[in-house]
């Protein structure tokens, strides 16, 4: 299998294709002119985005429906994607807007027939249905090494059944993509209207349950919330009201919540902060317990006086070790972010509670004696398998303490 050749004239350096006797019907074209060939799967057409890689070996449907991947093209480092098919239960977003999620997916091996009792649809058909462009047979190791060395590039993923591509035009399209830095995407993935949530976690042999009686009322500010986050809140006895990302602090406090949740989401936190930060600062000043995840963590960090930065290759996977300084334990976590809170920028009134053991980047903070806290990783996922679920119980405890006062 061929590797990536040295950069030259756009369109002239092309990565080899593993089925050399089979016509190629898809391309990944990077802004520097590097071209990868493969076999098209899923939807047809061409779309630009930021190219990243994800190291998880399971949960590809959850990854592909995570709103935090809006604007990105995912390279799966695990070679066999699609083996267990897809189903309606494993969706992480309820927003079917084509702009609300991942742009495309890059696979090493061809998609096989699903072999799982829960499967209801082949991954290829599912990708077509959701308008996601895919490519298989690509040298994902070469592309991953390129990202590790040079950072996440802008690129275009294209699928044409006739195998005809205008490489110079696709290269120009990749170069014209502005990149995620400075891009506000939470507004594209958020809910358009307020709704209530009471669904609890999935139970083997059954399905999802429903909250029988609520102990707490949580208002979730939706920057791209994943369903399983809402389920784990419900598991803690929380009746959840989900509101749009553009909701004001007055709107949220008028709902009389016991606690406020700041959801995950895509894009540059500095861009989303333009409208969200003043409201989050008011929510912090309200005295209510606050819990944030992912983009919610980054926005809370900025609201508390810190800054955020674009990462070189980001963290995307389900094998990320994180040290929790509040317990002294190391958790194996799921992560998906290309921006991070700069720990050095946090004021003395904010404590760093978690840190990535991969690169030392910030992964958690708290302020006001723990009433306000957040983490960068996704504690609703189960790679550890449940190392981080305690954070939802901690949030419930904070709300109980606030009620007691």
> Phi and psi at residue 175, in whole multiples of 5°?
-70, -25
Residue 54 · residue 315 · CB < 8 Å = no
The two tokens of residue 291 are 């819990």
Question: Which runs of E-coded beta strand occur in 69-149?
Answer: 72-76, 104-106, 133-136
Give the CB-side neighbour count of residue 281, counting CA atoms within 13 A: 11
Radius of gyration of the CA atoms of the chain, in A:
21
39 counts as catalytic: no
List of residues 6+ apart from 26 with CB closer than 8 A = 37, 38, 39, 40, 41, 133, 134, 135, 136, 157, 158, 159, 160
Neighbours of 149 (CB within 10 A): 9
Residue 259 · residue 284 · CB < 8 Å = no
Question: Of these residues, 216, 297, 378, 389, which one is catalytic?
Answer: 378
d(CA 189, CA 101): 7
Q: Rounded to whole angstroms, what are the CA distances from 328 to 44, 140, 238, 240?
A: 49, 36, 28, 31
Question: Of these residues, 50, 184, 294, 389, which one is catalytic?
Answer: 294
Furthest C-alpha separation in the chain = 72
Burial category of 66 from C-beta neighbours within 10 Å (exposed 0-12, middle 13-18, buried 19 and up): buried
Give the CB-side neighbour count of residue 199, counting CA atoms within 13 A: 15
378 counts as catalytic: yes
Helices (H) and strands (E) in the chain, counts: 10, 20
184 counts as catalytic: no
Give the CB-side neighbour count of residue 42, counting CA atoms within 13 A: 27
User: Which residues form the catalytic set?
Assistant: 294, 378, 380
């Amino acid at each position: 299998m061929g590797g990536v050749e040295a950069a030259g004239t756009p369109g002239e350096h092309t990565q080899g294709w593993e089925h050399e006797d089979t016509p190629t019907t898809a391309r990944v074209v990077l802004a520097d002119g590097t071209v990868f060939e493969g076999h098209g799967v899923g939807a047809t057409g061409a779309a630009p985005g930021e190219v990243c890689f994800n190291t998880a070996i399971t949960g590809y449907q959850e990854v592909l429906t995570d709103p935090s991947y809006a604007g990105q093209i995912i390279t799966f480092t695990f070679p066999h994607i699609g083996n267990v098919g897809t189903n309606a239960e494993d969706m992480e977003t309820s927003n079917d807007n084509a702009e609300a999620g991942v742009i495309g997916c890059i696979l090493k091996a061809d998609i096989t027939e699903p072999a799982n009792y829960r499967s209801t649809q082949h991954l290829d058909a599912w990708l077509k249905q959701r308008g996601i462009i895919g490519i298989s047979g690509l040298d994902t190791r070469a592309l991953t090494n390129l990202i590790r060395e040079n950072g996440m590039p802008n690129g275009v993923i294209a699928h044409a059944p006739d195998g005809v591509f205008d490489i110079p035009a696709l290269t120009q399209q990749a170069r014209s993509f502005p990149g995620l830095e400075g891009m506000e995407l939470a507004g594209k993935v958020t809910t358009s209207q307020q709704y209530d949530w009471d669904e609890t976690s999935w139970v083997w042999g059954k399905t999802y349950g429903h909250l029988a009686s609520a102990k707490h009322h949580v208002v979730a500010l939706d920057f791209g919330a994943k369903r399983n986050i809402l389920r784990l809140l419900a598991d803690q006895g929380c009746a959840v009201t989900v509101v749009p990302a553009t909701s004001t602090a007055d709107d949220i406090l008028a709902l009389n919540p016991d606690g406020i949740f700041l959801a995950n989401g895509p894009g540059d936190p500095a861009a989303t902060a333009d409208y969200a930060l003043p409201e989050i600062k008011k929510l912090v000043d309200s005295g209510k317990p606050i819990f944030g995840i992912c983009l919610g963590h980054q926005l809370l960090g900025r609201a508390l006086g810190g800054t955020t930065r674009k990462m070189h290759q980001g963290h995307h996977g389900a094998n990320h070790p994180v040290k929790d300084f509040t317990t002294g334990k190391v958790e194996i976590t799921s992560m998906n972010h290309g921006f991070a809170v700069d720990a050095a920028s946090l004021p003395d009134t904010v404590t760093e509670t978690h840190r990535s053991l991969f690169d030392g980047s910030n992964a958690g903070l708290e302020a006001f004696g723990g009433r306000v806290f957040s983490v960068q990783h996704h504690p609703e996922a189960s790679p550890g398998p449940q190392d981080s679920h305690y954070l939802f119980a901690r949030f419930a405890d904070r709300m109980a303490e606030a009620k007691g006062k």
